[in-house]
Amino acid sequence: MSKLEPATREWLKDLGFGVRSDAVWHEALTHGSIGETRDYQRLEFLGDRVLGLAISEWLYSSTNGAEGKLAQRLNALVSKQACAAIAREIGLPDHVRLGRQARDDGAHDSDNVLGDVMEALLGAGFLDNGFDATRDVVRRLWAEAVEGHAGRAKHPKSALQEWAAGNQRRPPEYEVIDRTGPDHAAKFTVRVSVHKVGAVEATSSSKRDAEAEAARLFMEKFG
């Protein structure tokens, strides 16, 4: 039976997924370059439809837009680029299972790969948790995108990613350097670093929040 790495299991739970079947999540995170019998492609096909329905329902219930406007918003929100942006914000590149050559070729930061794996995770969520629970995850992860960026601050990890690219720096690297407390009250300390710029640490009750706070503090110090 396929086994998930403990850090990956914890990351999935932090995102709001219930992990019952290791095998389906293992498959969702496996790229074809690994050479295993099953990779993420079938789950990507399923997850694409799950995401489309979740976002369609959300737009229909929250706006009064005409069909054309709804379709335009839907296409933007479920695009490969949108899925890849969400994937980067939640730290998905750290958990994709890639062959060495594919990783060396930059597949871990490819919009196509990250977008596909993001959809595969939603497919796995549908199979393991059901539609309602997976829709709830979509609503959390896509909230900023659906509500729009007007008058809102950019997500700290996105801002740092863009700052690094705009200043010809390597992408920021996030590392959990400490975890304390029991599972129900855990504290994560994350260090974010940009090569030849510096590093900043932050602590929070989830890895995701610690990464966001570290990115915010990094931008305050170096941005």
pLDDT at 76 over 90: no
Average pLDDT of every residue of the chain: 88
Mean pLDDT of the 164-176 span: 89
All CATH 3.30.160.20 domain ranges of the chain, comma separated, are 156-222
Percent of the chain with pLDDT over 70: 96
All CATH 1.10.1520.10 domain ranges of the chain, comma separated, are 6-147
- The model carries a pTM of 0.67
**Residue 203, phi then psi, degrees to nearest 5:** -125, 140
Q: Which residues are catalytic?
A: 48, 119
Half-sphere exposure of 127 (CA within 13 A, CB side): 18
At the topology level, CATH places domain 156-222 in: Double Stranded RNA Binding Domain (3.30.160)
| pLDDT tens-place string over residues 91-100 | 999 999 888 8
Q: Give dist(CA 194, CA 45) in Å, integer.
A: 35
The angle at the Cα of 123, spanning 119 to 97, to the nearest 5 degrees, equals 65
Q: Is 180 exposed, middle or buried (0-12, 13-18, 19+ CB in 10 A)?
A: exposed
Give the per-residue pLDDT at 2: 60
Q: Which of 4-8, 66-70, 147-151, 182-186 has the highest mean pLDDT?
A: 4-8
CATH of domain 6-147: 1.10.1520.10
In which region does residue 35 sit, left (phi positive, over 0), alpha (psi from -120 to 50) or beta (all else)?
left
Give the per-residue pLDDT at 152: 42
Give the per-residue pLDDT at 167: 84
**Residue 40, both tokens:** 């993420």
- Cα distances (angstroms) measured from residue 198 to each of 36, 50, 70, 223: 39, 40, 43, 11
Give the per-residue pLDDT at 156: 85
Rg (CA), the chain: 18
